[in-house]
């Protein structure tokens, strides 16, 4: 079975492929002692990589709640699906492309978008929106500008050309990401429930079709040696492992696949992502408890003389694998030919339970199918909390800034200010569904031929998670739910991207476990099942890990999209009220970082009160009692008030009286604070709806565009700023630092 | 009036144009596949926005050779109404159905934003539902929208009223800031000498519903309804 010219296979070769000695021994057991061929070894190395097999995390992800009355699909299929009414389902998922984006930012980010889109339309759903969560190193770090330009360019270059609007996102600069950036790409699609496709092969004898781009040498070992390993000084040499994307071909693929799915000739379909043909073919067959024979000579190639190893491991983009109904192959091939895409029968499903690949008449791989997917060893890596850190003394005895100074500094901060420099490069309008686009709390899409709408948002909080990986993760879920509810929608489901360092280190494994537990507890509290997700380990360089960064994306549902809310004040004279579930804290806040102070500890979170807040927002919005709603995040209440004044049609002002003596009240963060503007007549009803949460009156919206904040018991204002000035700082926070 | 929206591989705003025409304006509109030379009785042709052929070579450079474009050229020569939006405008210039060319934005990056344009000539089949000097708010989303043409050609076009839309600010003033892509003479949309072919970079089909940001785009489509040659 070994091909002439292939390197010999032994334990050293296995380790060079990223397998451990123990894992190699398990491979030998699966093969009853036979030494694998080089091709087979390559396939094991990618299928058993952390990125593909989830060997360090799978055991624990089972604790996440994935069921619920609206759930149609769950983890296991490519993306989960939720019933959104009117016979429609929403399909969504988020995935990481961290390592490729650090090595080759444009293509890394572009192919991240391409990959997540394929996970959506492989289910029969047309992708209707993208979001991205990005983390870069410090803005003044020498590599950051290059990475930022590349990543934003790649997301725009791919997303714009493929015709899916990018409607929301997240962007953070922090020195803890200097050596490892994070690029998490989210996509949402909508399908008729009856059109949902499966990735489970059925019917021995059914033909297997390869469709899409031809196969080349790009991306080989992208899953194993790039995504499942740390970075070090040699990381630049990993550039060939980054895949190269072609959004034009992906657009054709979307149209062709949806047409093909419509024909009814498809039994199962899966995209070729990480580990390319090996993973898609083995996973589809394994799910059906079947086997598959592949004839590698029939694969459309874009380069000459690819070896079986290369063909099976290639991560060339924009390719799908289809199990078709016997006899309908020609029909499908014609559809793909119409769109000028390759389409070829390359194999057959059978009942043997074996995964076999043939090349030039020879068997080059013959493996038990269960060995590849579920056969990967499952690890229960040791997890241990780190020794409690010494309480950080405030060694920089800075004078505390005045509230006005603090507000101005926060609005000017790259982590608070306007992200317009980024989202202006993204088409947020294509497909004509965008009711609220980037620059708001949650994005809102309308569903055509329906009164309904969907809200979507992605959030993370690495600083809080670094302080407490459990509480911090709960806080992230609370924040994203708050954003969804502030748009007038009811949260219905979650997808997550869990980004951590090296799981072979007990401290990292502990962070991960606590994060999963936090996600579980919060998801249960909000009745938002986790219907899909992704884990990205090994985000560290030379032993320094990123802070624990669980990224949570949430989707909400609006029964009547015209009832949506935005964050800006709308009418002079409206009452401004605040609903707060807990006292804010400066711990892990932007204020704490900017002014190098010691914010103390994170406050505990009462999930019952958090749920009350979300339910109250949804109920009040449904009864049209809220004019605007904005949640307080980075920068706290004062920043939220300023942002609420930045109505693009006409700036408003606000006259606020509140407990403003302590910085923590104006600039503290943490769950949860929302700022609402309401008709004064509505106050009593709003109070009733939110009870037992207190609805506190802060002040009034004013026509004069000045933000005035003062203490309740004093006449003077401690903040009295022209909204135009504050808006200027906010608009220039990123743009000013990026030009030139 | 019957409309035909041409669909090239990579067209993106074809469905948005159909949605605007069918669902908002109650028009009889259908997609025309690029490989089929038949215009299927359309009285008005739309070349939609997008990235036809992935913008390979130059934007619109390959689309102009599609089989259907021969029919579109003949249709235009016979006086038929043609509107090219964004990539459609680029295709019309590449096909020499309109003068000039669209080049890379001055900022060198893709821009998606709302822009203000002033109607410079309200006496055409594309603008007659608007008033002269009226300001319309329309979205732009493009990386190659900088219009260029030789100076004497531009002078002639201005004189003859072929510049239909010009970028301005909210108050109607021209300025560098108001010109999002650096177009010569801040040109956003032009017509041919016969005023039956119109190309514009802004997207009227994305300004047809208040809930989605604005309705000024309706004026352009309304102008064309019932205006077939």
Probe site for chain A from B18, B49, B141, B214 (most A CB atoms < 10 A): B141
Torsion A150-A152-A153-A154 (CA) sign: positive
Query: Does the beta carbon of B14 lie under 8 angstroms from any beta carbon of chain A?
Result: no
Q: Give the closest residue to A322 by CA, choosing from A361, A274, A270, A262.
A: A270
CB atoms closer than 10 angstroms to residue B214:
17
CB-nearest partner of A252 from B9, B143, B203: B9
Facing residue for B112 by CB, picked from A339, A427, A431: A427
CB A335 within 8 A of CB A260: yes
The overall average pLDDT reported for chain A is 93
Average pLDDT estimate for A510-519: 98
Label each residue of A662-710 as H, E or C: CHHHHHCECCCEEEEEECHHHHHHHHHHHCCCCEEEEEEEECCCEEEEE
Residue to substitute from B8, B34, B85, B110, interface A, most A β-carbons within 10 A = B110
Does the structure show a pLDDT above 90 at A241?
no
Rounded to a whole number, what is the distance in Å from the CA of B211 to chain A's nearest CA?
6
Nearest to A601 by CA among A389, A351, A328, A422: A389
CA A28 remoteness from chain centre: 37
Q: What is the pLDDT of residues B192-204, one digit of tens each?
A: 999 999 999 999 9
Contact A425 B139 (CB under 8 A): no
- pLDDT for the residue A393: 53
Please tell me which residue of chain A has the smallest CA distance to B59: A161
The minimum CA-CA distance between A626 and chain B, rounded to whole Å, is: 18
Comparing alpha-carbon positions, the chain B residue that sits nearest to A341 is B9
Structure confidence at residue A712 (pLDDT):
82
Average pLDDT over residues A117-137: 96
Q: Residue A406, by phi and psi: left (phi above 0), alpha (psi -120 to 50) or beta? A: alpha
- Chain A positions touching B209 (Cβ under 8 A) are 432
- Of A718, A686, A505, give the one whose Cα is nearest residue A578: A686
Q: Is A429 within 8 Å of B55 when comparing Cβ atoms?
A: no
Radius of gyration, CA atoms only, chain B? 16
Exposed, middle or buried: residue A492 (CB in 10 Å: 0-12, 13-18, 19+)?
buried
Question: pLDDT digits over A314-348, tens only?
Answer: 999 999 999 999 999 999 999 999 999 999 999 99
Under the banding of pLDDT at 50, 70 and 90, the label for residue A614 is very high
Residues of A in contact with B36 (CB under 8 A): none
Instruction: Give the HSE-up count for residue A263: Cα atoms under 13 Å, Cβ half-sphere.
Output: 21
B184: contact with A, CB 8 A cutoff: no
Q: What are the pLDDT digits (tens) for A456-468?
A: 999 999 999 999 9
Residue-wise pLDDT for A265-276, tens only, equals 999 999 998 889
Q: Could you give the CA distance from residue A187 to residue A158 in angstroms, rounded to a whole number?
A: 13
DSSP H or E run through A541 = strand A540-541
Among A28-32, A56-60, A117-121, A158-162, name the one with the lowest average pLDDT: A56-60
Per residue in A191-203, pLDDT (tens digit) is: 999 899 988 899 9
- B-chain residues within 8 Å CB-CB of A161? 10, 51, 54-55
Residue B229: its pLDDT value, please?
A: 45
Alpha carbon distance A250, A252 (integer Å): 5
Confidence class for position A373, pLDDT limits 50, 70, 90: confident
Q: Kindly identify which residue of chain B lies nearest to residue A453, measuring between CA atoms.
A: B211
* In contact, B88 and B5? CB cutoff 8 Å: no
* B139–A429 CB contact, under 8 Å: yes
Q: Which chain B positions have a beta carbon within 8 Å of A423's beta carbon? A: 112
Of residues A660 and A154, more confidently modeled = A154
- B112–A252 CB contact, under 8 Å: no
Q: For B35, name the nearest residue in chain A, comparing CA atoms only.
A: A338
Do residue A160 and residue B113 have CB atoms under 8 angstroms apart? no
Q: Dihedrals φ, ψ of A548, to 5°?
A: -55, 125
Spell out the domain ranges in chain B: 2-224
Q: In angstroms, what separates the C-alpha of B156 from chain A's closest C-alpha?
A: 34
The distance of A61 to chain B (nearest Cα, Å) reads: 38
Give the DSSP H/E element, type plus range, for residue A644.
helix A636-645
Torsion of CA A338, A340, A346, A348, to 10 degrees: -30
**Positions of B marked active-site:** 86, 203, 205
Which band of pLDDT confidence, cut at 50, 70 and 90, is reported for residue B76?
very high
Q: Which residue of chain B is at minimal alpha-carbon distance from A562? A: B211
pLDDT digits (tens, 9 = 90+) for A68-93: 999 996 566 666 799 999 999 999 99
Banded pLDDT at A149 (limits 50, 70, 90): very high
Binary contact (A425, B111; C-beta < 8 A): yes
Which of A430, A437, A438 to substitute to test the interface with B, most B CBs within 10 Å? A430
Is the pLDDT at A396 greater than 70? The verdict is: no
What are A454's two structure tokens?
């969907």
Mean pLDDT of A370-396: 78
- Say whether B16 and A427 touch across the interface (CB within 8 A): no
Return the higher-pLDDT residue of B61 and A398: B61
Are A251 and B51 a contacting pair at CB < 8 A? Answer: yes
Per-residue pLDDT tens for A486-495?
999 999 999 9
The pLDDT value given to residue A390? 59
pLDDT value at position A575? 98
Share of chain A above pLDDT 70, in %: 96
Mean pLDDT score, B161-176: 97
Instruction: State the Cα–Cα distance between residues A234 and A471, nearest whole angstrom.
Output: 36
What band does A703 get if pLDDT is binned at 50, 70 and 90? very high
What is the rounded CA–CA span in Å between residue A81 and residue A120? 10
Q: Which positions in chain B touch A738 (Cβ < 8 Å)? A: none
Shortest distance, CA A554 to any CA of chain B (angstroms): 22
Read off the pTM: 0.94
Residues of A in contact with B206 (CB under 8 A): 429, 432
The total of other beta-carbon atoms located within 10 Å of residue A530's CB is 28
Task: Measure CA A200 to chain center.
Answer: 25
Q: Smallest Cα–Cα separation from A271: which of A159, A117, A376?
A: A117
Mean pLDDT of chain B: 96
Q: How confident is the model at residue A611 (pLDDT cuts 50, 70, 90)?
A: very high
Interchain CB contact of B206 with A (< 8 Å): yes
Task: For residue A151, give both structure tokens.
Answer: 């990543």
Phi, psi of A107, deg, nearest 5: -70, -35
Q: A117 with A127: CB under 8 angstroms?
A: yes
Residue A700 has a CB neighbour count (10 Å cut-off) of 18
pLDDT digits (tens, 9 = 90+) for A643-654: 999 999 999 999
> Hey, is the C-beta of B212 within 8 angstroms of any chain A C-beta?
yes
Can you read off the two tokens belonging to residue A386? 């780190």
Using the predicted structure, report yes or no on whether residue A359 has a pLDDT greater than 90: yes
CATH architecture observed for domain B2-224:
3-Layer(aba) Sandwich (3.40)
> Is the CB of residue B109 less than 8 Å away from at least one CB of chain A?
yes
Which sign, positive or negative, has the C-alpha torsion B216, B217, B221, B224? positive
SS3 A71: strand
Cβ-Cβ contacts under 8 Å, B13 against chain A = 430
Nearest by CB to B211, which of A248, A430, A446? A446
How near does any CA of chain A get to the CA of B103, in Å? Answer: 17
Percent of chain A with pLDDT over 90: 82
pLDDT band of residue A237 (cuts 50, 70, 90) is low
Tell me which residue in B9, B12, B213 faces A339 most closely, judged by beta carbons. B9
Structure confidence at residue A2 (pLDDT):
77
Structure tokens at A667: 């600039």
Chain B interface, mutation test: which of A163, A318, A439, most B Cβ atoms within 10 Å? A163
Active site residues of A: 51, 97
Indicate if the pLDDT at residue A726 is higher than 70: yes
If pLDDT is split at 50, 70 and 90, which confidence band does A206 have? very high
B148 shares contact with chain A (CB less than 8 Å)? no
Report the C-alpha gap between A332 and A489 in whole angstroms. 40
Q: What residues contact A48, with CB distance under 8 A and at least 6 apart?
A: A19, A23, A55, A375, A376, A377
Cα-Cα-Cα-Cα dihedral of A147, A148, A153, A155, to 10°? 100
Q: Which residues of A touch B20 (CB under 8 A)?
A: 432
How close B33 gets to chain A, by Cα (Å)? 10
Contact: B112, A429; criterion CB under 8 Å? yes
Interface of A to B at Cβ within 8 Å reads 153, 156-157, 160-161, 163, 246-249, 251-252, 339-340, 423-435, 446, 448, 561-562
DSSP letters of A119-175?
HHHTTT-EEEEEEEEEEES-TTSTTHHHHHHHHHHHHHHHHHHHT--EEEEEEEE-G
Q: What is the pLDDT of residue A558?
A: 97
Task: Examine residue A165 and say whether the peptide bond preceding it is cis (omega within 30 degrees of 0).
Answer: no
Chain A residues with CB inside 8 Å of B53's CB?
Answer: 248
């Amino acid at each position: 079975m070994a091909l002439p010219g292939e390197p010999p296979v032994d334990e050293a070769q296995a380790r060079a492929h990223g397998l451990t000695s123990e894992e190699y021994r398990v491979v030998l057991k699966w093969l009853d002692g036979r030494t694998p061929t080089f091709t087979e070894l390559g396939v094991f190395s990618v299928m058993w990589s952390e990125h593909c097999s989830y060997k360090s995390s799978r055991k624990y992800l089972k604790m996440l709640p994935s069921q619920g009355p609206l759930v149609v699909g769950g983890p296991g299929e490519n993306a989960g699906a939720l019933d959104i009414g009117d016979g429609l389902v929403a399909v969504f998922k988020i995935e990481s492309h961290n390592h490729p984006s650090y090595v080759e930012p444009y293509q890394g980010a572009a192919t991240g978008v391409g990959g997540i889109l394929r996970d959506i339309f492989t289910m029969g759903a047309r992708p209707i929106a993208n979001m991205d969560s990005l983390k870069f190193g410090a803005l003044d770090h020498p590599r950051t500008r290059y990475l930022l330009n590349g990543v934003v360019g790649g997301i725009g270059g791919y997303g714009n050309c493929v015709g899916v609007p990018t409607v929301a996102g997240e962007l953070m600069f922090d020195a803890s990401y200097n050596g490892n950036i994070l690029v998490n790409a989210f996509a949402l699609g909508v399908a008729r429930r009856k059109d949902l496709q499966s990735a489970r092969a059925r019917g021995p004898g059914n033909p297997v079709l390869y469709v899409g781009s031809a196969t080349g040498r790009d991306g080989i070992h992208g899953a194993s040696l790039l995504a499942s390993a740390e970075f070090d000084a040699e990381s630049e040499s990993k550039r060939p492992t980054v895949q190269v994307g072609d959004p034009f071909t992906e657009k054709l693929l979307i149209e062709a696949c949806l047409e093909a799915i419509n024909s009814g000739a498809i039994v199962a379909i899966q995209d070729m992502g990480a580990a390319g043909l090996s993973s898609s073919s083995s996973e589809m067959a394994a799910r059906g408890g079947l086997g598959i024979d592949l004839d590698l000579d029939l694969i459309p190639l874009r380069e000459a003389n690819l070896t079986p190893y290369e063909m099976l491991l290639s991560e060339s983009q924009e390719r799908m694998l289809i199990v078709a109904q016997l006899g309908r192959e020609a029909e499908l091939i014609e559809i793909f030919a119409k769109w000028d895409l390759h389409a070829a029968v390359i194999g057959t499903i059978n009942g043997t339970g074996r995964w076999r690949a043939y090349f030039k008449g020879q068997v080059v791989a013959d493996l038990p199918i269960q060995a590849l997917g579920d056969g990967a060893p499952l690890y229960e890596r040791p997890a241990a909390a780190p020794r409690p850190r010494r309480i950080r003394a405030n060694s920089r005895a800075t004078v505390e800034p005045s509230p006005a100074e603090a507000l101005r500094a926060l609005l000017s901060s790259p982590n608070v200010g306007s992200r317009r420099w980024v989202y202006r490069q993204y088409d947020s309008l294509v497909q004509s569904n965008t009711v609220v686009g980037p620059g708001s709390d949650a994005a809102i899409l309308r569903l055509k031929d329906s009164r309904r709408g969907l809200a979507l948002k992605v959030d993370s909080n690495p600083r809080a998670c670094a302080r407490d990986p459990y509480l911090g993760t709960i806080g992230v879920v609370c924040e994203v739910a708050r954003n969804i509810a502030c748009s007038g929608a009811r949260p219905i489901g979650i997808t997550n991207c869990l980004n951590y360092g090296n799981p072979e280190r007990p401290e990292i494994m502990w962070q991960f476990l606590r994060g999963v537990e936090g996600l579980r507890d919060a998801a249960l509290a909000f009745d938002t099942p986790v219907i899909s997700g992704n884990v990205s380990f090994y985000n560290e360089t030379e032993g320094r890990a990123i802070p624990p960064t669980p990224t949570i994306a949430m989707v909400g549902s609006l029964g009547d999209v015209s009832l949506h809310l935005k964050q800006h004040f709308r009418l002079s004279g409206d009452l401004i009220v605040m609903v707060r579930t807990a006292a804010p804290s400066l711990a892990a806040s932007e204020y704490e970082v900017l002014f190098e102070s010691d914010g103390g500890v994170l406050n505990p979170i009462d999930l019952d009160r958090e749920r009350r807040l979300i339910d109250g927002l949804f109920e009040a919005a449904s009864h049209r009692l809220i004019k605007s709603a904005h949640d307080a995040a980075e920068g706290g209440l004062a920043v939220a008030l300023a942002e609420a004044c930045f109505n693009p049609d006409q700036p408003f002002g606000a006259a606020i009286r509140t407990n403003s003596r302590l910085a923590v009240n104006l600039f503290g963060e943490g769950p949860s604070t929302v700022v609402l503007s309401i008709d004064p007549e509505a106050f009593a009803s709003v109070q009733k709806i939110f009870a037992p949460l207190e609805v506190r009156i802060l002040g009034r919206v004013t026509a004069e565009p000045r933000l005035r904040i003062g203490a309740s018991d004093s006449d003077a204002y401690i903040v009295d700023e022209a909204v135009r000035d504050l808006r200027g700082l906010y608009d220039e926070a990123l743009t000013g630092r990026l030009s030139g | 009036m019957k409309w035909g929206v041409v669909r090239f591989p990579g067209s993106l705003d074809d469905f948005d144009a159909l949605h605007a025409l069918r669902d908002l304006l109650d028009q009889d509109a259908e997609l025309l596949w690029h490989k089929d030379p038949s215009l299927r009785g359309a009285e008005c042709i739309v070349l939609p926005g997008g990235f036809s052929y992935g913008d390979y070579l130059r934007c619109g450079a390959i689309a102009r050779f599609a089989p259907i474009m021969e029919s579109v050229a003949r249709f235009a020569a016979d006086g038929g109404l043609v509107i090219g939006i964004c990539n459609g405008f680029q295709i019309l210039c590449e096909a020499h159905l309109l003068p000039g060319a669209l080049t890379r934005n001055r900022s060198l990056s893709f821009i998606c934003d709302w822009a203000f344009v002033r109607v410079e000539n309200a006496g055409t089949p594309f603008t007659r539902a608007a008033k002269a000097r009226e300001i319309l708010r329309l979205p732009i989303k493009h990386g190659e929208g900088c219009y260029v043409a030789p100076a004497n050609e531009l002078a002639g076009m201005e004189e003859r009223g072929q510049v239909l839309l010009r970028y301005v600010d909210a108050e109607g003033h021209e300025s560098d800031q108001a010109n999002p892509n650096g177009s010569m003479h801040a040109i956003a949309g032009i017509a041919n000498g016969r005023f039956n072919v119109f190309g514009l970079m802004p997207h009227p089909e994305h300004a047809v519903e208040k809930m989605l940001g604005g309705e000024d785009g309706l004026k352009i489509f309304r102008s064309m309804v019932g205006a077939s040659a």
